[in-house]
Chain A
Amino acid sequence: MTMTLLIARKEFTEMLRDGRFRGAGAIVFTLLAGALLLGWQNHRDVSAQHRVAQEATRAQWLNQGKKNPHSAAHYGVYAFKPQAPLSLVDHGTDPYTGVAVWLEAHKQNEFKYRPAQDATAVQRFGELTGATVLQLLAPLLIVLLTFNAFSGERELGTLRQLFSLGVSPAQLSSGKALGVAAALGLWLAPAAILGSMAIAAASGQGEVMASAPRMIGMALSYLLYFGAFTGISLAVSAWAPSSRAALMILLGFWMMNGLIAPRVASDLAKTWKPSPSAFDFGQQMQLALAKGSDGHDPGARAKALEAGLRKKYKVDKAEALPVNLLGVRLQDSEDHGNEVFDQSYAALWENFAQQNRIHQMVAWAAPGLAMRSISMGFAGTDFPQHTHFAKAAEDYRRMIQRTMNDELTYQAPNTGAPYLAGNDLWKKVPPFEYTAPGAGWVAEQQAPSLGIVGMWFVGSAFLAAWSARRVRVA
């Protein structure tokens, strides 16, 4: 153990004295700190805008004046997607999903306005976020620090000397790994503290405790990921014929992992599990809405409904019903619509989930994909959490519809006379409150990806140990 620590200390000191490491580390740290700072600023601005908008939409709903409840249902409210505090580290898919959805009668709308549409094409090179630095640049730094761990010693002739002193390969590789970890920690620890402070500042009151488990989950996953990269680098360094070859192989892996695999995975997913075009999706939904899930035309459906009510209340004329027929019909059409929306969106989201499972398959070869998914997950910016919010918003819409239709059904006269409701009714609809799922939910969602990163960590440690034992000394 002391030998391992000795080696670690030597590596650490050597790296600190190396101007290249200091330079590269400083660049990575600056980018990371800058990304976090700007992420925090952006988060603060956008959250404030969303909060103001959410309050305004509520005020508009309450102050809409006297109206028929169904007019109010058409007027509706907007749900604005809140910004998760950790999104300042990883924007994830947020730039590519809409920010708001209109909750109106008869229709489950799509989220509108993807922030990326308000950016230049440079955005597509990738955003400078904490996640970019941690997923792309930090592994590169690890590669540059470790590619010649064994091959460099061999080329200098010091490897033979080391082994002649009785240092075991295991001690050597764990010492080197510890040294790299310590050197990286020197840059990452302050960045982590900075990041936690930013997240704490971004979390509203009482949210800090909710953010903490997510933050810990994210940090641990990144540590596993860095560990995996260190292990791979050490293994390749021990196994490759020369430092140059080791560097080439590792750069190739880094490139494949970070830049090629995400695109290839997307293309494969699109080819194997194609998504419908927005046009076809809309048409299908229209068709289903018009037909009715049971295939009857709406006229017949309405007649059947009326007949059912007459039978239920034992009256022979619609006018004699104790309930307002229009209200019942509207709710019936909502119920039918909800079935259609549930089916359509469930199918679409299942399609995306299948595509994401293909990404996961590719992640066995490129752990960066799994890390990306975990990071977005804990940041609260992945697609599952977008749908989590979308479902909450849709439930709220359905609640509004039911409240409005119930009012019509049981309060409005059945004479066809105009019926106006007011603030009392609007107040019956509670304000829209959304609670993001907890870290446990995320961990469950991300279990396969966490498994992949964990496997890579364990596998790379074994690989490093195995390669170190078989390393050629000259």
Chain B
Amino acid sequence: MLLSLMKYEWRNLNADRTPLTITLLLGVALAYGAWNGSQWVSFQRSTIQSALQEETERLRGVRNEIPKVDAGEIKVSPFTDPRLPQALGRGPGARYAVMPPSALGALAVGQSDLYPYYFKVTTGSKQTFLNSDEIENPVHLLAGRFDLAFVLLYLFPLVILACSYDLVSAEKEGGTLALALSQPITLSALTMAKVLPRVALVMTLAVLLPFAGVVLGGADLAADGAVERLLFWMAVTVAYGSFWFALAVAVNALGRSSATNAMALAGLWLLFVVVIPSVLNVAVKVAYPVPSRVELIQATRVAGDAATRQGAQLLARYLEDHPEMAPAERGGIPDFGTVQVAVSEATERAVQPVLDRFDAQVAGQQRIVDRFRFLSPAIVAQSAFNDLAGASAQRYSHFLAQADEYHRQWRGYFVPRILRKVKLSAADLDQLPTFRYREEDLSDVAGRLQIALLGLLIPTLLVVFLGWRWLGRYPIAGA
């Protein structure tokens, strides 16, 4: 019975070209979204490539320069002498710490357009190189991108609601509901028979098209965890879509007119996709206000001034802490390079508490978002999509931590050589530490995703239950 009803429903849908319209609308939007995302990924890739190419050429230049300086063919000042570690580590020898776009990067731009994805690491303080923001028209950052995540978060629910807002009400208004229920079938079963073909169509599109997009976009599915991430993506899409179908059924079950249903569902969509997220955004900012970064700038400057004034003393204290780094010959005026080391480390140490305060505020915001995102499936889905596409703030922090570690290694290489006044040779260039990005562990992401899936499924089941209860009391005839 259910099957044959579904068959008729499908025929019905076909008669008014619903499947075609949906396929076209959703298909075009999804394809366009996927294309946009892959444009962004290839932009990042080409930028990274130019950076790495610049690094290779620059290092090759230094390698050729060193013997010429040795031979006295080129005259250099102590600030530009590539053999001096304090000069080399600050500029000519610098290397990039790069976070490549993840395997599914094309699926969501997320926060990746807001945070840097490469740093030119030097012996200077962190603040000097941690700001390599990408150039972007701020109006574009404000508007956001038309990527797959946008299509799935905003448009996909609308397509679902558009094709199911009058699921039961239209039957009633057309006078066919009483007729259909005179057959041996319950209203729940009839509703099921009507909703399932729609679910099948919309979900197939929403799941398969991103998959096609990923494959055509040249994503590396062989990458570690890529297939699992894609499966998770599909699961989140299905769970998110199910919520909206459940909502449409539940609203229908209240027995109002099609027009009222449409209004109510549009209102709910607005509530979940626009109002709750923006109210939550405001609420977290009130709970954990992040002061303007001008405070960080000032703190850095004050600390820098203090450190510069104490320069020589700082160096003496530094050498007391690190006697192994003390230069072979004692005494004399410490040169600029050595003082610089102590000054920049002291500045960084002094600024760290301020930085930590900023981080703590943002972390506090994130905690509230994590707790209250379950108020809106759209927020749950957004954070899951960002996680899966490697466009989340968490992945950026993961990268930042690695860049930080690399910065320590970099200094660990140069500082002792600066203090011991070692002269570097061309061969030493091969010994410079290199950066290799380690992708977030799938298990870290998987934990967050499982909670996200639950956060989508529990409300869905709740709404399904309510809908089912309400369907039992549905006024079949009359108003």
Contact = CB atoms under 8 A, between A and B. Distances in A.
A169 B280 CA distance: 45
A262 interface: yes
A115 B282 contact: no
B132 interface: yes
A121 B365 contact: no
Interface residues of B, number: 79
A359 interface: yes
Interface stretch (A126-134, A198-206, A408-416, A428-436): A126-134
Given A31-B279, A119-B281, A278-B135, 12 more contacts: A53-B295, A93-B142, A100-B294, A118-B293, A119-B365, A122-B284, A255-B158, A266-B144, A269-B137, A277-B46, A279-B50, A281-B135
Contact of A243 (B131, B259, B366): B259
Q: Is the interface of B mostly helix, strand, loop or mixed?
A: helix
Interface in A1-54: 31, 34-35, 38, 42, 45-46, 49-50, 53
B260 to A, nearest CB: 10
B143 A125 contact: no
Given A119-B281, A119-B365, A383-B138, A280 B294 contact: no
A364 interface: no
Contacts of A248: 162, 262
B301 interface: yes
B138 A277 contact: no
A212 B71 CA distance: 71
B114 A114 contact: yes
Interface stretch (B82-90, B187-195, B207-215, B379-387): B379-387
Contacts of B39: 270-271
B297 A118 contact: no
Given A50-B292, A99-B293, A263-B145, A119 B139 contact: no
Contact of A348 (B134, B135, B281): B135
Contact of B281 (A114, A115, A123): A123
Interface of A: 31, 34-35, 38, 42, 45-46, 49-50, 53, 56-57, 60, 64, 78, 80, 92-93, 95-100, 102, 110, 112-128, 132, 136-137, 140, 144, 243-244, 247-248, 251, 255, 259-260, 262-267, 269-271, 275-281, 283, 348, 352, 355-356, 359, 382-383, 386
A283 B57 CA distance: 13
B50 A121 contact: no
B134 A278 contact: yes
Given A279-B47, A355-B139, A120 B294 contact: no
A50 B296 CA distance: 12
B298 A244 contact: no
B358 interface: yes
A263 B150 contact: yes
Given A49-B294, A124-B144, A248-B262, A359 B285 contact: no
Nearest to A355: B137
Contact of B270 (A35, A140, A265): A140
B294 A126 contact: no
B365 A49 contact: no
Contacts of B162: 248
B91 to A, nearest CB: 11
Nearest to A53: B294
Given A266-B139, A278-B132, A118 B361 contact: yes
Interface string B30-74: 000000100100010011001100100000000000000000000
Contacts of B36: 267
B75 to A, nearest CB: 11
A280 B280 CA distance: 38
Contacts of B305: 60, 64
B280 A277 contact: no
A348 B39 CA distance: 20
